[in-house]
Structure 1
Amino acid sequence: MAFPALTSYNNTMISEQELQQLVESISLESFSRPFLHQAKINRRLKTTGGRYQLSDHHLEFNPLFLKEENLHYLPGIIKHELVHYHLHLAGLGYQHKDRDFKLLLQKVGGSRYAPRLEGNKRSRWHYRCRQCGQDYWRQRQVNVKKYFCGRCRGKLKKIAGPLAK
């Protein structure tokens, strides 16, 4: 299924009004049901493509996926959030673990996970065991005086990271 509205944007990012129209059209095409709530851009989303709000049923989307170079990911992300939306309103299993969710997501061709973008990388800490040479990569800094190697129980050494010495 082609989305002609996605290719016609000359801007670097689509607006909230255009996003609303796109969500409404994908909802009608893929689910044969209308989307009756709001689609918003949430600039605080960093690691996910979108979010479905249970309380007021609106959808929020990461602005990184609304840029021209990432628009090809957008239909899958919109379908993913619409699966949450339509299943929740129908009273069926809308969570990722539910069978209803997995089946409908596969049927409409939505994305299971948000793709990793270049601007989405988090700084990583690299540690190495002084005895056996085992490497450890962590997203958070580790206290090398408190923690030790899980293989040989040797002391850890900080190799790289934002504050590596």
Structure 2
Amino acid sequence: MEKQQELISFSGEDLQNLVQKISRDFFEGLPYIKTTFKHSAYFNNRLRTTAGRYFINQGNIELNPKYYEKYGLEGLISTIKHELAHYHLHQMGLPYKHRDKEFIALVKIVNAPMHAKPMRQYKYVYTCSTCGVSFHRMKKINTNKYRCGKCKGTITLKETV
């Protein structure tokens, strides 16, 4: 699932340069994109559940360093492309939200993901002994009390992560 690779230590300036390079390489020259990235991009250690976010009022992009540690440079670049899609559309006065067709089209053009890979690691994996469906849980459950929601079969603890 995760690739073990050498992580590059990014200073604030290195990250800013990477975001500007991705903006130039993937967004410059597209028909309706007429801006380059002129705001700040930085890591925020307090982010827990999101890979990155674009601030509409300031125009800045925040990125999660733990997401980078888990998924490497490839995960970081895909997050930057996603946030830059929000940025460029908003700067041009176009619809920039996830549900907007312009955003969906731009994300497909630059090959950015619509959603980030999950950050959460589940501790327990349960399986149904009848139909084989797997359940991922953070908390341990009483297998005598609960049944499979699909077929009502018995649930067994498969593995502990």
1:36-67, CA deviations, whole angstroms, 9 ceiling, x for partnerless residues? 22101122445643221234321112225656
Count of equivalent residues: 148
1:93 alignment counterpart: 95
Quick check: 1:81 aligned with 2:96? no
SS of residue paired to 1:160: strand
- Residues 15 and 66 of structure 1: is their aligned pair in 2 closer, same or farther, counting only changes over 3 Å? farther
Percent identity, aligned pairs only?
A: 35
Amino acid across the alignment from 1:91: G
1:79-114, CA deviations, whole angstroms, 9 ceiling, x for partnerless residues? 211001111233322122321012112223334444
- Tell me if the contact between 1:14 and 1:66 (Cα under 8 Å) persists in the aligned partners: no
Runs of 4+ in 1 over 4 A off after TM superposition: 64-67
Higher helix share: 1
- Residues 77 and 157 of structure 1: is their aligned pair in 2 closer, same or farther, counting only changes over 3 Å? closer
- Tell me if the contact between 1:148 and 1:155 (Cα under 8 Å) persists in the aligned partners: yes
1:4 alignment counterpart: none
- Residues 73 and 156 of structure 1: is their aligned pair in 2 closer, same or farther, counting only changes over 3 Å? closer
- Tell me if the contact between 2:131 and 2:151 (Cα under 8 Å) persists in the aligned partners: no
Quick check: 1:34 aligned with 2:36? yes
Task: Provide the C-alpha distance between the structure 1 equivalents of 2:112 and 2:131, rounded to a whole number of angstroms.
Answer: 42
- Residues 127 and 79 of structure 1: is their aligned pair in 2 closer, same or farther, counting only changes over 3 Å? closer
TM-score (norm 2): 0.68
Q: CA deviation at 1:24?
A: 2.1
5+ residue gaps in structure 2?
1-5, 29-34
Q: CA deviation at 1:155?
A: 4.7
